Amino acid sequence: MAECLRKDKIIAESPGMVKALNLVVRAARTDVTVLILGESGVGKEVIARVIHNASQRLCTGSFIKINCGAIPESLLESELFGYEPGAFTGANPKGKPGMFEIADRGTLLLDEISDLPLNLQVKLLRVLQEQEVYRIGATRSIKLDVRIIASTNRNIEEQVQEGSFREDLFYRLNVLPIEIPPLRERKEDILPLTKHFINLYNEKYGVERRLAPQAIPILEEYHWPGNVRELQNVLERLLVMSDEEVIPSSQVQNELTKNRAKYKSPVSVNELIPLKDAKEILEKQLIAMAFECCPSARKVAEVLGLDHSNIVRKAAKYGIRR
């Protein structure tokens, strides 16, 4: 397992990441279904790959990833489950295997699982329960041996309460939850991560750059809303743009100041009120704004990342009409 962590360049010195990696070790020993939770940029896909690479499935199958939020709903079903020849207009005459079939005897990562439409959640639940898949247009099922890992950057339990994510599917996926802490809660990891990325990009670009010692506290105090991905991008940009062998702390500070403006929150807080009230106010304002900008309730649902029926219900609750 230690070899896998080195190979996948996993850096964990903070208590939160050490705890997460202990769960990763346990997950790799079995085929238990894993739900990886964490903000964008914390490294959820990297953790999923480590679980696959440290498991027996490395020798029997592939690690396959599909982003449930990046594929249009009209195409997602065929991507996941495949289709038979002539199943629909424009289909490949030879048919096509879905991601479940391609991942047979390996691992399938369902990234951004919280974006999966409700109608496909039902079909996914059946696949998990029966360990078999029906291609679109098929009358016979295909038996599968797939290890499932799901990930999301959203509060999926809240989605269950709102009705936009099926409770039975949540429990099927949430057998072993692994939460990856954000970088701002992993300050002990910032220095070793920085050293790793500096070495990586020195080698990639054939340069010899390093940060001034005064730059490290600046990196450690920054909030890192984009997490490890943001740190990686900042360091690559610094190495490419700097003409000096030792990158001064002032240049690091300037880069982070630009990033801070980019990640500035669109929400401002002016006074303390109960969190429940604040959530309702923000929700009402966002839905009202979306209805002003979007041509339909379905488009509003798409923009706000909610189910259509959920949007209709909330609009009625707040008295919002077109």
Q: In the predicted model, what is the mean pLDDT of residues 62-73?
A: 92
β-pairing verdict for 63-67 and 107-111: parallel
**Residue 3: pLDDT band with limits 50, 70, 90:** low
Q: Looking at the predicted structure, is the pLDDT value of residue 185 above 90?
A: yes
**Residue 130: pLDDT band with limits 50, 70, 90:** very high
Q: Report the CATH number that the domain containing residue 116 is assigned in CATH.
A: 3.40.50.300
- Per residue in 91-107, pLDDT (tens digit) is 888 899 999 999 999 99
d(CA 135, CA 171): 25
| End-of-domain residue from the set 151, 181, 211 | 181
Residue 265, C-beta contacts closer than 8 angstroms, at least 6 positions apart: none
> Taking the model in full, what pTM does it have?
0.78
Please give the pLDDT value at position 26: 95
Q: Looking at the predicted structure, is the pLDDT value of residue 300 above 80?
A: yes
Q: Looking at the predicted structure, is the pLDDT value of residue 262 above 70?
A: no
Please give the pLDDT value at position 311: 87
Pick from 7-11, 183-187, 263-267: least confident: 263-267
* 267 domain-assigned: no
* 220 domain-assigned: yes
Q: For the CA atoms of 37, 42, 45, 47, what is the dihedral angle to 10 degrees?
A: -80
- Number of domains composing the chain: 3
Q: Examine the domain organization and report whether 45 and 148 are in the same domain.
A: yes
Pick from 53-67, 78-92, 123-137, 266-280: least confident: 266-280
Q: Examine the domain organization and report whether 19 and 165 are in the same domain.
A: yes
| End-of-domain residue from the set 262, 285, 301 | 262
Q: In the predicted model, what is the mean pLDDT of residues 114-139?
A: 94
Please give the pLDDT value at position 27: 97
Q: Examine the domain organization and report whether 64 and 204 are in the same domain.
A: no
Nearest CA to 287 out of 321, 252, 236, 248 is that of 321
Nearest CA to 110 out of 79, 142, 68, 73 is that of 68
| End-of-domain residue from the set 181, 197, 221 | 181
Q: For the CA atoms of 140, 141, 143, 147, what is the dihedral angle to 10 degrees?
A: 160
Query: Mean pLDDT over all residues of the chain?
Result: 90
Q: Examine the domain organization and report whether 231 and 98 are in the same domain.
A: no
Q: Looking at the predicted structure, is the pLDDT value of residue 4 above 70?
A: no
* 269 domain-assigned: no
- Per residue in 20-37, pLDDT (tens digit) is 999 999 999 999 999 999
* 10 domain-assigned: yes
Q: In the predicted model, what is the mean pLDDT of residues 4-8?
A: 55
- Per residue in 232-261, pLDDT (tens digit) is 999 999 999 998 999 999 999 999 988 776
Hey, what long-range contacts does 230-236 have (CB within 8 A, 24 or more apart)? Answer: 230/41, 230/183, 230/259, 230/263, 231/183, 231/190, 231/193, 231/194, 231/197, 232/197, 234/259, 235/194, 235/197, 235/198, 235/201, 236/197, 236/201
* 54 domain-assigned: yes
Pick from 111-115, 260-264, 275-279, 317-321: least confident: 260-264
* Structural domain harbouring 283: 275-318
